[in-house]
Amino acid sequence: MPQAVPQGTPALSVRGLNFFYGKKQALFDITLDVPTGGVLALIGPSGSGKSTFLWTLNRMNDLVDGARVEGEVLWHGRNIYAPNVDVVKVRKKIGMVFQRPNPFPLSIYDNVAYGPRIHGIRDRARLDEIVERSLKAAALWDEVKDRLNASALALSGGQQQRLVIARVLAVDPEIILMDEPTSALDPSSTTRIEDLIDELRNAYTVVIVTHNMQQAARISDDTAFFLNGRLIEHAPTAELFQRPKRKETEDYISGRFG
């Protein structure tokens, strides 16, 4: 299970974050506390910086040529961008689910067991337990328990996305980052993923990027609105949607732009 965080302590504290692709600045002075537990939705029009911001939260942006970060992302009081930080550990505890399902071309079982094996678990009974627990937590066990040796690529898109979530859960994360996890799925699969997120909020901190404001309103506890690389407003979801404090937020929510 995730490591306990003292009540009231943010899961992540972002302080004065600036992000650059080469000479182009994409994020400007972002300061935001990610609450521990529950779901934080990041909304805003295309190009607003919300996915870029999400990627900074577990250093996934390290994989982008020319990327540069200024400021801090504090996790358990330490800046994840400080020298000598173990990036593998950061990404183990702050997992990522991408827009399109990306199962490995392996069996269902080996997809889920992949991370634990990388981190040194070899005992078959222990791996069996992790695979079953993770698939159950991802609401997929009942659909695949009789074909764990089948290729993960044979699953439907919605099942593949739940498998990817199981793969993240298998390495015992604290925080789960989701970059538009339902945008490539049909409505039925989207509902299954939303129901799953509703379950995950009880045990994990979830940060989700979504273009769908109705989805943000349905599933999130807090919402942050981004525009042109800046954090415009952050508030409890009901408050932000019903009583936005900034005109830019009101205009976006009401459909005047974006």
**How large is the angle between the packed helices 108-118 and 157-169, nearest 10 degrees?**
20
Task: Match 């328990």 to its residue by tokens.
Answer: 145
Number of H helices and E strands in the chain, helices first, is: 10, 10
Q: How far apart are CA 232 and CA 234, in angstroms?
A: 7
Model confidence at 1, pLDDT cuts 50, 70, 90, reads very low
Contact 182, 32 (CB under 8 A): no
| CA-wise closest residue to 99 among 54, 40, 147 | 54
Tell me the C-alpha distance between 1 and 146, whole Å: 26
Q: Model confidence over 189-246: pLDDT tens digits?
A: 999 999 999 999 999 999 999 999 999 999 999 999 999 999 999 999 999 999 999 9
Residue recorded with tokens 């409505």: 187
pTM exceeds cut of 0.85 = yes
* pLDDT tens, position by position, 86-98: 999 999 999 999 9
State CA 211 to chain mean position distance: 14
Is residue 47 predicted with pLDDT exceeding 60? yes
Q: Cα-flanking dihedrals φ and ψ of residue 117, to 5°?
A: -65, -45
